[in-house]
Amino acid sequence: MKRILVIAGNTYREAVRDRVLYLLLFFAGSTIILSRLLAVLAVGDRVKIIMDVGLASLSLFGALVAILVGTSLVYREIDKKTIFTLVAKPIHRHEFLLGKFFGLVFTQLVIVLLMTLFFQAFLFIHTLRLDGPVFLAALYIFLELILLTAVAILFSSFSTPILASLFSLSFYVIGHFSRGLLTLIRKMPAGGGRSIMRFFYFLLPDLENFNIKTEVVHHLPIPGDFLVKSAIYGLFYALFILVLTVLVFRRRDFQ
C-alpha cells in the first residue's frame, strides 16, 4: 500500500505540471463565464441556462482531462524507459497501475472541487445564494470521471496515446448514447435480434447513470435508490476495468 501511495503522489505532482491540464481548466472557466452571455441572448430562465452550461462544461472538460492525461500516464513511462527501472525494483505491476490510477483520481478530485467552487461563486454573484444540489451533480460527475480514468489507463496499458485517446473518447460517447438501445429494444419484435441488442446494452457502459444535471438544474426530485444504484454501478464497473487492466499489463513484454 505504501508503494501505491508513493506512485500516486508522484503521479499527482506529474499531472499538475502538465500544461494540457491548465489549458483545459482555462477553457472550462471561460465556458462558465461565457454562459452569462449565452443566458442573456437565450430565451428562458437565465440562472438555469448558466447552471446547465456550467455543469456540462464541468463534465466535458473533466472527461477531457481523464482522457488526455490518463492515456499518456503509462505510455510516458514506457517511452522514457523509466518502466524498466520501476519493474526492476520490488514494485509489482499492479502497484504501479493502481498508483497511477489513484494519483490521477486525486487530481480529478482537486479539479472537480476547484471548478465546482468557482461555479458556485459565479452562481452566487447572480442569485446571492448557494445551490446545494450542484455539489451532488458534481459528485456524480466525479464518479463518472473515476470510471473514465480507469478506462483511459486500460487503453494506455497496451496502445499509443493517440489510439488510447480515441478508444477512451469512443467509450465516453457510446456510454452516453447506449441508453438509446432500450428504446430500440422495446420496439423490436421478440426473437434473436432483440436478445442480441439486449446483450449489447448490458455489455456497453451506461454513463447516463451519472447524469443528474437536468434534475439539478430544474430542481426535480432524484430518487435515493437511483443515486445508490448509480454509485455502486460506477464503482464496480471501475473495479472491473482495473482488474482487466492489471491482467493485460501483466502479460505485456517491455523488451
pLDDT in tens, 144-154: 999 999 999 99
Domain encompassing residue 67: 2-250
Q: Does 255 map to a domain?
A: no
Q: What is the DSSP secondary structure assignment for residue 53, as one 8-state letter? A: H
Whole-angstrom Cα distance, residue 87 to residue 77?
11
Minimal CA–CA distance to 211: which of 222, 225, 197, 200? 222
Q: What is the pLDDT of residue 229?
A: 93
Q: What is the DSSP secondary structure assignment for residue 14, as one 8-state letter? A: H
Q: Does 124 map to a domain?
A: yes
**In the chain, pLDDT over 90 holds for what percent of residues?**
19
- Banded model confidence at residue 140, pLDDT cuts 50, 70, 90: very high
Whole-angstrom Cα distance, residue 133 to residue 224?
13
| pLDDT above 60 for 93 | yes
Minimal CA–CA distance to 70: which of 170, 147, 176? 147
**What's the distance, Cα to Cα, between the start and end of the chain in Å?**
27
**Cell triple for residue 147?**
470510471
In this structure, the number of other CB atoms found within 10 A of the CB of residue 50 comes to 22
Q: Does 89 map to a domain?
A: yes
Domain count across the chain: 1
Q: Does 26 map to a domain?
A: yes
| Predicted TM-score (pTM) of this structure | 0.87
| pLDDT above 60 for 255 | no
Higher pLDDT, 123 or 138: 138
Q: Does 118 map to a domain?
A: yes
CA distances from 154 to 20, 166, 241, 246 (A): 20, 13, 7, 8
Q: Does 32 map to a domain?
A: yes
